[in-house]
Structure 1
Amino acid sequence: MTRQISMTTRKELVAALQLRYSSAAFGDRIKILDEFVALTGYHRKHAIRLLREKASPTQGTPARNRLYDEAVRQALIVLWEAADRICGKRLKALIPMLVDAMERHGHLDLDPVVKSKLLQISAATIDRMLADARLHIDGQRKRRKGVGAAIRRSIPVRTFADWRDPPPGFFEIDMVEHCGGPKTDGDFVHTLTLTDIATGWTECVAMRVRNQMLVIEGLDKAAADLPFAMLGVDSDNDSAFMNQSVFDYCKGRGLVQTRSRAYKKNDQAWVEQKNGSIVRRLVGYGRLSGLDARNALAQLYASSRLYINFFQPSFKLKSKTRDGARVHKVYFAPATPCDRLLAHDSIEPAIKEKLKVQFKELDPVRLLQEMRTAQQILSDLAAHGVRAETVSADASDVAVFLANLSVAWKDGEARPTHRKQPAAKHWWRTRVDPFADVWPVIEGWLIAEPSASARAVMSRLAAMVPDVYASKAQLRTLQRRVKVWRAERVRELILGGVRKSAETPVEA
């Protein structure tokens, strides 16, 4: 079957062959006509009529008669400004009332034709006529919603009430910023937190910066470390999660991807709770930036994931009933995430056996000692920006650490990341020095009269510069300055005498 060509191509063929057809001999015309019919599929008589037509000069699109001229546009701009720049649909409804009110108060005197056009103009035409004015005000046209909005619409919303006792493998994920309090410019380390809804199993991944590709790497790492399969992820509406890369990643691996409602943190109550009880409790609130901080954080999470998931029992809500303003909650007995995995029916026996073997091999004291070492490194990086030299833990270090556990409470906070750093010595001035301009004069008075009191000096200053020192409100400041000056003079006299005696040669 011959492939049909488009109408545009047919028109181009007609334009190209008309001149050749009209100037060709009879035999050549037959050949041109046969080829043209074969290409276009036209009837032979219709093809002859097309090729015999004279090519007409190209005519442009005739200009439309504008219904709304510049006078209407100028009047519309005045009404738009008087209406506080509302949108076209609202302005359309307001124009009759606004025109009447402005004419009634003498603010507007419209030509009857212009007024008639303003009363019949549509909302879409209003927006088109005001587009240039809005562009001049805004500086640029509004950006169209990008792919993130489309992806966000394609990902279903899951609220906190939609979790119906899922099997292990469905995770809530979130990111924690280690920016040191209020956000500041620059890059800083992030933590990707994943919490299993069914068991509370939590994985934390250190990220050098906030990046969607690093999120994918973090999900891959967490999935590789998990003793069970990852089935789905539920995140907030952060652009680090709501993007094409993460969407394709979840789709390619068969993960169920859902999201919370915007600005509803309760929809991610499980992972938000772990952000505080695990991430902040381990890392603190210091600012961490750079590759060293990321590596130290990864070292901390390598030990803490085993310590928390195997040796840290947690509560899990069993039921919740409301009685008026009171909410009565009932919890299951505290259990570790590992215990919940072992008790869950959906976990395969081989996985349970592997968990039991791994549990017997783990030393909680060694894990805690490794965590404290990593926390000390993070504390140094947060406080000073450099890490101290550390030595790998051996059996003797663990023994010393174990021996100190019984008296560690006497030293206060055991976590290095939460210890208070010594405050910097206050050396800077917080107020302008009131004696900066006259201190050379004061110093001359003190040298001439060493026994003069600060009060007497203040009286002389008040007499000399009454506009500034007449109230003598700076007396206490002057007394401190004089005291410091005299102490420095005494120190110079003593040290000068010592140096002079040391330099004098001893006579034989």
Structure 2
Amino acid sequence: MATRRAVTQAQLAKWPKASRAEKSAILDAVVQLTGWHRDHARKAIRTLLADPDRATRPRTAREPVRTYDDATVALLARCWAILDGPSGKRLHPAVPDLLSNLARHGRLTPTEQAVVEAVLRMSPATIDRRLAPHRQGLVAGKGLSHTRPGSLLKTSIPLKTWAEWNDTIPGIIQIDLVGHEGGDNNGHFHYTLDATDVATGWTETITVKSKGERIVATALEQLRLRFPFHIAGIHSDNGSEFINHHLLRWTTSNQISFSRGRASHSNDQAHVEQKNWSIVRRNVGYYRYDTPRELDLLNQLWPLISIQTNLFLPQQRLISKTRTGARVQKRHDTAATPMHRLLTDYSDLVHDHDARHLDTLHRDTDVEDLKHRIADIQGNLLELARRRGAVQRRAKTNHVYLSRRKISDPKRANPDESTTQTKRAS
């Protein structure tokens, strides 16, 4: 813009005394150098002639135009907090259902009723702009990986890579374990088993006291009963808690297909890996949980999280991903809740009894009261973590062998020593 103003300024001295043909030539030169439209170039010259100091004077900042008042933004922030802080593209489809739920359970005051229409008119981009101050201070952590290779039984379990999940129907779930070690993976601590349906995004979780083979299989049986549709297949990583004879016999006896991803390729089970963060870590953090009281609180929390996530919180699915050089362009569908996807796209796979139960649960659940109950349990978990204090990471019990201190350096033979091994007599 500075260069364009300089070019225009250079033509001002000729303009007042120029003839019609000369003015046309001046306009041609300005248009060619700046890329402006001819009418805009003529307007810029006339403006600078009327106010010569305009080119050097800083431009006055435009006053912001606010379409939505503070009451509207406050109600929007309340909806955002109830659904655990989703993005604008996920929150926008959920706002009508959420406001209807709040009004049905008497959660809206007369003042808030008046701004409901304004909240419903907000676009996803406007939602993100108005909620930007509320997102400040939200940080993410990083945990440890507890996956240990399974046995040679892997040769009996077929592989399934990331490219084979496009045409999946409900009933094919991915499973994974999330450890609550608090930064120190020595000793005993609890694990959360996460199971996600690939087609609908329906997710169920349960916490177990360890990752023993029988304990994991028993927890998986409990999770299978929580899904509102038949489980036909299970996909896991290569951890020894999944790749074992006990779980293979359980899947075979229940006529459930069993597959696994490639080692060191977490993208083969990307659906459940994403839920490990968005559901498990966002709700219980990276603290250490290893007591019976904490185990009980965690298993009280997950059924409430299931209702919030599967019935009220929309999710987006990736439609396509195009790579052009170093640029990756992704396209997602319109956000929808897992219940909506299940009852709309796969209604023939849901029993009428289960469909009626989901509709009743969705209608009768007070979503704000649900959020308060979730926050109470999370507060108890935080208090227990605060009383424990900071967890000091200790060295592993086999750290001496991992550091190779017990392994002596190989000795080279002296020049006068023979390196020929003595042969045993026949």
Q: TM-score, normalized by length of structure 2? A: 0.54
Q: Deviations over 1:350-382 (max 9, x none)?
A: 133332222112221121111111101111222
Partner residue, 1:107: none
Q: Quote the offset at 1:254 in angstroms.
A: 0.8
Amino acid paired to 2:163? A
* 2:349 aligned counterpart, secondary structure: coil
Q: CA RMSD in A?
A: 1.9
* 2:234 aligned counterpart, secondary structure: strand
Q: Deviations over 1:135-179 (max 9, x none)?
A: xxxxxxxxxxxx953421100011111113211011110000000
Partner residue, 1:412: none
Q: Deviations over 1:228-281 (max 9, x none)?
A: 111111000000001111010011101110001001111111101000111000
Q: Please give the alpha-carbon distance, in whole angstroms, between the structure 2 residues aligned to 1:162 and 1:301.
A: 29
Q: Please give the alpha-carbon distance, in whole angstroms, between the structure 1 residues aligned to 2:191 and 2:390.
A: 26
The aligned runs of 1:351-390 (5 Å cut-off) are 351-385=354-388
Q: Please give the alpha-carbon distance, in whole angstroms, between the structure 2 residues aligned to 1:233 and 1:348.
A: 19
Give the counterpart of 1:347 among 346, 349, 352: 349
Amino acid paired to 1:204? T
Amino acid paired to 1:337? P
Q: Is the 8 A contact 2:316 2:334 kept in 1?
A: yes
Q: Please give the alpha-carbon distance, in whole angstroms, between the structure 1 residues aligned to 2:303 and 2:151.
A: 36
Q: Is the 8 A contact 2:150 2:238 kept in 1?
A: no
Greater percentage in helix: 1
Partner residue, 1:218: 219
Q: Is the 8 A contact 2:150 2:244 kept in 1?
A: yes
Partner residue, 2:145: none
Q: Is the 8 A contact 1:315 1:333 kept in 2?
A: yes
Q: Please give the alpha-carbon distance, in whole angstroms, between the structure 1 residues aligned to 2:236 and 2:285.
A: 23
Q: Is the 8 A contact 1:160 1:269 kept in 2?
A: yes
Q: Please give the alpha-carbon distance, in whole angstroms, between the structure 2 residues aligned to 1:381 and 1:365.
A: 25
Partner residue, 1:324: 325
Amino acid paired to 1:341? L
Q: Please give the alpha-carbon distance, in whole angstroms, between the structure 1 residues aligned to 2:180 and 2:271.
A: 20
Amino acid paired to 2:310? N
Q: Please give the alpha-carbon distance, in whole angstroms, between the structure 2 residues aligned to 1:242 and 1:371.
A: 34
Q: Deviations over 1:276-327 (max 9, x none)?
A: 1110000001111011111010011121111111111111111122222212
Q: Please give the alpha-carbon distance, in whole angstroms, between the structure 2 residues aligned to 1:262 and 1:190.
A: 21
* 1:310 aligned counterpart, secondary structure: helix
Q: Please give the alpha-carbon distance, in whole angstroms, between the structure 2 residues aligned to 1:162 and 1:285.
A: 32
Q: Please give the alpha-carbon distance, in whole angstroms, between the structure 1 residues aligned to 2:379 and 2:291.
A: 16
Q: Quote the offset at 1:213 in angstroms.
A: 1.2
Q: Quote the offset at 1:200 in angstroms.
A: 0.5
Partner residue, 1:175: 177
Q: Is the 8 A contact 2:194 2:206 kept in 1?
A: yes
Q: Quote the offset at 1:205 in angstroms.
A: 0.5
Q: Deviations over 1:190-233 (max 9, x none)?
A: 10000110010000111112211111111111111111111111
Q: Please give the alpha-carbon distance, in whole angstroms, between the structure 1 residues aligned to 2:300 and 2:247.
A: 26
Q: Deviations over 1:99-158 (max 9, x none)?
A: xxxxxxxxxxxxxxxxxxxxxxxxxxxxxxxxxxxxxxxxxxxxxxxx953421100011
Partner residue, 1:164: 166
Q: Is the 8 A contact 1:155 1:259 kept in 2?
A: yes
Q: Please give the alpha-carbon distance, in whole angstroms, between the structure 2 residues aligned to 1:349 and 1:204.
A: 22
Partner residue, 1:155: 157
Q: Please give the alpha-carbon distance, in whole angstroms, between the structure 2 residues aligned to 1:164 and 1:214.
A: 32
Q: Please give the alpha-carbon distance, in whole angstroms, between the structure 2 residues aligned to 1:314 and 1:363.
A: 20
Q: Please give the alpha-carbon distance, in whole angstroms, between the structure 2 residues aligned to 1:219 and 1:238.
A: 15
Q: Is the 8 A contact 1:151 1:247 kept in 2?
A: no
Q: Quote the offset at 1:349 in angstroms.
A: 5.5
Q: Is the 8 A contact 1:286 1:383 kept in 2?
A: no
Q: Is the 8 A contact 1:157 1:260 kept in 2?
A: yes
Q: Percent identity?
A: 37
Partner residue, 1:300: 301
Instruction: State which structure, 1 or 2, has the greater radius of gyration over its C-alpha atoms.
Output: 1
Partner residue, 1:198: 199
Q: Is the 8 A contact 2:228 2:350 kept in 1?
A: no
- After the TM superposition, list the runs of 4 or more consecutive aligned residues in structure 1 that deviate by more than 4 angstroms: none
Number of positions where the alignment pairs a residue of Structure 1 with one of Structure 2:
241
Q: Deviations over 1:42-71 (max 9, x none)?
A: xxxxxxxxxxxxxxxxxxxxxxxxxxxxxx
Amino acid paired to 2:323? R
Q: Is the 8 A contact 1:169 1:230 kept in 2?
A: yes
Q: Is the 8 A contact 1:170 1:197 kept in 2?
A: yes
Q: TM-score, normalized by length of structure 1? A: 0.46
Amino acid paired to 2:337? T
Q: Please give the alpha-carbon distance, in whole angstroms, between the structure 1 residues aligned to 2:351 and 2:283.
A: 33
Amino acid paired to 1:289? D
Unaligned residue ranges in structure 1 (runs of 5+): 1-146, 386-420, 424-508
Q: Is the 8 A contact 1:341 1:352 kept in 2?
A: no
Residues 190 and 349 of structure 1: CA distance in aligned 2, closer, same or farther (over 3 Å)? closer
Q: Is the 8 A contact 2:151 2:240 kept in 1?
A: no
Q: Is the 8 A contact 2:343 2:350 kept in 1?
A: no
Q: Please give the alpha-carbon distance, in whole angstroms, between the structure 1 residues aligned to 2:390 and 2:367.
A: 31
Amino acid paired to 2:297? A
Q: Deviations over 1:453-499 (max 9, x none)?
A: xxxxxxxxxxxxxxxxxxxxxxxxxxxxxxxxxxxxxxxxxxxxxxx
Partner residue, 2:260: 259
Partner residue, 2:10: none
Q: Quote the offset at 1:182 in angstroms.
A: 3.9
